[in-house]
Structure 1
Amino acid sequence: MNPTWESLKLDTGEVHILPLRDGFRHEPDDCPCGPVTQPVHAEDGSIGWMLTHQPLIEET
């Protein structure tokens, strides 16, 4: 089954993509799931960061 996702934008501008209902509490800072970090280019030329957290327990 595919996980359900939510996004969380921090005050720093980082966007975290978090799996829901995987039975694990994902943390924005130092998450043990090993989120994948990707640069995101904005229209104004700046670069932000998107961190996609990994589901640790399969959703049922």
Structure 2
Amino acid sequence: MKFSQLKIGDRFHYRNADFTKTGPLQAVADGSSSAQLIMRSAEVRTLDEQAEPNSTGLSVREQL
């Protein structure tokens, strides 16, 4: 998914870190207060995509 396809407030993974989108070209890394510029064309992975369900249909988070 492209960074530009995310909505403001969406959480995503990019370059080995988790971020929250704060603007059209900005995001804040988890645990940080400074915004970073991210290209609109950057490939990102939403955190929902990372928590894929297993054979029981439950995500790892739901099993805990």
TM range (shorter): under 0.3
Question: Relative CO higher for 1 or 2, CA cutoff 8 Å, sep ≥ 6?
Answer: 1
Comparing both structures, which one devotes a greater share of its residues to helix?
A: 2
Comparing both structures, which one devotes a greater share of its residues to strand?
A: 1
